[in-house]
Structure 1
Amino acid sequence: MLKVIVVDDEPLARKGMLVRLAAFEQLEVVAECSNGDEAVAQILELKPDVVFLDVEMPGMDGFAVLKSLQQQQGKLPYIVFVTAYDHYAFNAFEVNALDYVLKPVEPERLKAAVAKVLKFHAAADSQKHKGQLAAAVAKLTGDEAGNILQRLDKSEPVVNDRFPDAISIKDSGEITRVPVAEIDWVDAAGDYMCIHTKDGQTHILRRTMKELELELDPRLFVRVHRSAIVNVHTIAKLQMLSNGEHQLMLTNGQAVKVSRSYKDRVKQVFSQ
């Protein structure tokens, strides 16, 4: 049997994956983790054969987990990426050993992913494993496999450079193109996003925060709260309040609350 660890910050997603994996007699789930730090610790301790790794997690995301494992141990487990967003041309993602599954996880798709892992494990070709791992990360980011692993080794961000220069916003029969470079910060207002620009205007966009986040270059924008994204160039300072919470002060005088789950991401901005 192959030892498995499931990593996902969403409790329901973890529970659903555990239920589905129980159908495979070749797999034994030895741990479930709710964040990246916990995942790294459990993987190093339990040395699983397979990790079902959520890509999008606050704090240490799936790529950061992979980077940390590369730095701390030689042999990596087989990685099956899990994500809710078909954002990186997954239809072209064809690998023999590593795979991805989209949320909500469909039984047949998971079955195919497990079959690939079992097939590769039977081959026991560690060199091929390393190459397939590089290919998997490359497919997720749109970059060359060699470049991706070099960036991970150097603790550099793993990003896709192909981000739009402007966001198109429809309103009352008109479409306004808002240059991304002019966006100071974004906050959620129910089912809408309020995009605040450098000229003091506010544009209303009907889209989810997660969808908008995927269109913004993570080197230029940081998620600071479940309902707020900030342009890093507008950050003036990070303040700790008397109640122990944190907030950002922007160059335009705007104060933006920082939630606990995103605090580490914000601190990384100040360390760059």
Structure 2
Amino acid sequence: MSSAGAPRTAILADDERLLREQLKARLSEAWPDLKIVGEARDGNEALGLADELRPDVVFLDIRMPGLTGIEAAREILSLPDWHGEVVFVTAYDEYAVTAFEQGALDYLLKPVEPERLAQTVRRLQTRLAAHPAPSERPQDDAALDALMAGLSKLQLKLNARSPVVQPLRWIQHTAGSSTRLIDVKDVLFFRSDEKYTRVQTRDQEGFIRTPIRELLPQLDSQQFWQIHRSTIVNLSAIAAITRDEAGRQRVHIQGHPEVLEVSRSFAHLFRAS
């Protein structure tokens, strides 16, 4: 975050280079003192730059490879000691309006119009000027939880643009030279790394190439919840939710020793109302 008197900083995230260039040009006119310190081509890059550079503002395209803008926003807003602003840049008006109605976010519609951008810049400048010093900022868990819940609903609406007629019933995976089927209702959890997603049941594990963000919309949302950017859990398999010494939530699975971490951006799912 910029120190008092220093120019405000921002990063731009859009998988289309020309659109990043257009926004950068528009910002140079609407906010000449704003310093663009980084550009990202996808949500993962945006998250990494936000964590490293701690900009005052992050402009996020909603639809990007890797993490979507909404998923990246959840992670960025959960970064410790970061109190900047997030602006969605989108061609999807219904999503933008919903995001804006969460109260803590702003949005720009593509193509970005100078008059609308000037309005957003004024709002951002007002909010940033009102931010207290980092050491004086209380941790408002309730407000952050409400924002995360809103973003989760927004992501569900984004997923609904490609509706699944029936939730996924079987998982097909390869084991050596054979192909095996796993009944989805028997899955305890899914965990992804950079290349594979592990499918864990009580009796076996399999590996598939479908990433979490593509797998989630295919699952029954009443049965499976995402609790981390790399983890989906079967609600019926949860034995308990506990907290560690640092206050982080942990999910314990029935009949399985692995303990799953709940990231800050999904903590609202298990917080008592």
Q: Return the TM-score normalized by structure 2.
A: 0.53
Deviation at 1:101, TM superposition (A): 0.5
The answer to whether structure 1 residue 48 and structure 2 residue 63 are counterparts is no
Deviation at 1:21, TM superposition (A): 1.3
Q: Is the contact made by 1:59 and 1:264 (CA closer than 8 Å) also made in structure 2? A: no
Map 1:247-266 onto structure 2 (within 5 A).
Answer: 263-266=211-214
Taking the aligned partners of 2:132 and 2:120, their CA distance within structure 1 comes to 18
Which residue is 2:238 aligned to? none
Deviation at 1:52, TM superposition (A): 0.7
Structure 2 SS opposite 1:87: helix
Deviations along 1:128-151, one digit per CA (max 9) or x if unpaired, are: 9998xx6xxxxxxxxxx85443x4
The answer to whether structure 1 residue 114 and structure 2 residue 118 are counterparts is no
Unaligned 5+ segments in structure 2 are 1-6, 184-194, 196-208, 220-230, 234-273
Taking the aligned partners of 2:54 and 2:99, their CA distance within structure 1 comes to 30
The answer to whether structure 1 residue 236 and structure 2 residue 160 are counterparts is no
Amino acid across the alignment from 1:121: L
The answer to whether structure 1 residue 68 and structure 2 residue 75 are counterparts is yes
Deviation at 1:26, TM superposition (A): 2.2
Which residue is 1:58 aligned to? 65
Structure 2 SS opposite 1:120: helix
Map 1:46-195 onto structure 2 (within 5 A).
Answer: 46-88=53-95, 90=97, 93=100, 98-125=105-132, 146-149=145-148, 151=149, 158-159=152-153
Q: Is the contact made by 2:8 and 2:56 (CA closer than 8 Å) also made in structure 1? A: yes
The answer to whether structure 1 residue 214 and structure 2 residue 161 are counterparts is yes
Taking the aligned partners of 2:156 and 2:67, their CA distance within structure 1 comes to 23
Deviation at 1:54, TM superposition (A): 1.4
Amino acid across the alignment from 1:159: K
Cα distance change, pair 92–235 in 1 and its aligned pair in 2 (3 A):
closer
Out of 15, 18, 24, the residue aligned to residue 18 of structure 1 is 24
CA RMSD of aligned residues (A): 4.3
Q: Is the contact made by 2:11 and 2:37 (CA closer than 8 Å) also made in structure 1? A: yes
Q: Return the TM-score normalized by structure 1.
A: 0.53
Q: Is the contact made by 2:102 and 2:147 (CA closer than 8 Å) also made in structure 1? A: no
Deviations along 1:213-264, one digit per CA (max 9) or x if unpaired, are: 5263xxxx4xxxxxxxx85415532569x9xxxxxx999xxxxxxxx99745
Q: Is the contact made by 2:11 and 2:38 (CA closer than 8 Å) also made in structure 1? A: yes
Which residue is 1:188 aligned to? none
Amino acid across the alignment from 1:106: E
Deviation at 1:160, TM superposition (A): 5.2
Amino acid across the alignment from 1:236: I
Which residue is 1:183 aligned to? none
Which residue is 1:28 aligned to? 35
Cα distance change, pair 235–74 in 1 and its aligned pair in 2 (3 A):
farther
Taking the aligned partners of 1:5 and 1:64, their CA distance within structure 2 comes to 16
Cα distance change, pair 82–160 in 1 and its aligned pair in 2 (3 A):
closer
Structure 2 SS opposite 1:233: coil
Map 1:197-212 onto structure 2 (within 5 A).
Answer: none
Identity %: 33
